Structure 1
Amino acid sequence: MSSISKARFNRALFWLSLLIASTIAVFPVYWMVITSLQTTEEVFAFPPNFLPDIKIENYLSVLTETDLPLWMRNSLVVSLSSTALALLVGTPAAFALSRLRYRGRAVFSLLILTTQMIPTLVLIIPLFQIFVQLGIRDSLLGLVLGNFAFTLPVVVWMMKSMLDGVPQEIEQAARVDGASWFQIMLYITGPLVLPGLAATTIYAFLDAWDEYMLARTTITSPENWVASIGISSFVGQYLTPLNIVMAASVLFSLPPIILFLLIQRQFVAGLSAGAVKG
């Protein structure tokens, strides 16, 4: 086999492998969407129909006959609030770890890293007791604070890795010109790590949006349920309406997709933002 034929064969093999991998990754999402468009009889029909007629009755039923809009609103409130709080606290903390030199800095960094070694389930009972004592057990405020506590250490470390990739000479020049550390972080370093900030925002939002165990443990009132709990309530003891569950799941997937599409360029750039030092 000539070198040209071998190169073409390798290229064809690469694209074939990529097509197979993409199909495996996308098929569950496709199956969720087509199931949400079918009736109960069509869902259990054999052979399955991979190209069903478009019917929006399931979506109308979910939006009008269930409390999914309320649960989605609660999820948005919790996710956006905990994300904003984690970024507001975590970014200055990451800047301090990356730039400032003070006694106990290494120990403090190690403590932040250690928190990620503790399973989340271990922390739920202590958080539950704290929420009871504070009177925020069955409230969205408790979920915001809980998700903030879970997300903050990762936000700090992600932003620290981004900040480590920014040359300190730029900041030193600003210090010579009389800029404060806050001004440097806000006007000089901040725009440079914007792609990393976008990636961190995506992570923090998804972490709060998909959270289930803390919400299931601390929230009892249906009006305070988040969407992850609400969708799980559709599962019955003897019957589960799969088409309704899939319609709700499609709607539940839309906010993260929309957020990703809005900041996808910054997110892709932020994936390698801390890999190489400047």
Structure 2
Amino acid sequence: MASQSRHVSEWIDRRAADVYEYASDPANLPKWAPGLGSAVEEVDGHWFVETPSGRAGFAFVGRNEYGVLDHEVTLPSGEVVHNPMRVVPDGDACEVVFTLRRLADMTDEDFARDASLVQADLTRLKHLLEGSEPSPGRAPEWAGSVRIGGMNTKPVNLTEALASFDDVYSPRIVARMNDYDVRIAHTLGEHVWHVHEDTDEFFLVLDGRFDIAIRDAAGVETTVVLHKGDTFVVPKGTEHKPSSPGGSILMFEPSGTLTTGDRHEGEVPGNVDSTTGHELP
């Protein structure tokens, strides 16, 4: 019996070559498909994504002139899932088409849910490449065995979540809302001067003290000192450098936002994890 498939697509007002170039780079995955994995890493020419179930392999087919973006995800269990995907030219624009395969044990609800999540990924890709504001919607996540990662709907106790890891400046994603992540992190020592060009950044101090040095357009630096219960928003385009004698924070920012910003000053310290956030253990 043939498996059931559904084609999910999105029209993008950019040249097919531009879309292919961006989407075929595994390093861009957390920006347009953050549910596939919260972080990506290249090791000896092979790409891996971090998921709640463990590290999973990810590989596109070889570069080609036909817009083929088929890719395989090797789950932590060793199972390999093949996902057909194409960038189809349409004049100076294009259509991105993802073929979603229904697995044998999928319910109608699971299959429809996966289709809506794939659509959310493609819509995010459209907004990124067209430079438009994303429309409200769920942050994507991989369901069942087709997509991996994602968030559950159970309540998360922040105290228990913070106790589950020790790394500093290495945020864990505790929830997703629309196109935003809610992240928590331990803080200790100096971060790095960096800037988020297109998004504000919200901080809530959960424990201890958290300082944010701010540098204005004239190069004048001031420091905002925050204590437990304090909140502060760093406006987009503002250079800033956090530091802390010890504590923990909660952050609210768009999915795919890198902890070291769109650009940063100098080398990233060894105590700072340059990441788009990790799933909770």
Is TM (by shorter chain) over 0.5? no
For the pair shown, the structure with the greater C-alpha radius of gyration is: 1
Indicate the TM-score class for this superposition, using the shorter chain for normalisation: under 0.3
Q: Which structure has greater helix proportion?
A: 1
Q: Which structure has greater strand proportion?
A: 2
Work out which structure has the larger RCO, using CA pairs closer than 8 Å and 6 or more positions apart in sequence.
1
TM-score (norm 1): 0.25
TM-score (norm 2): 0.25
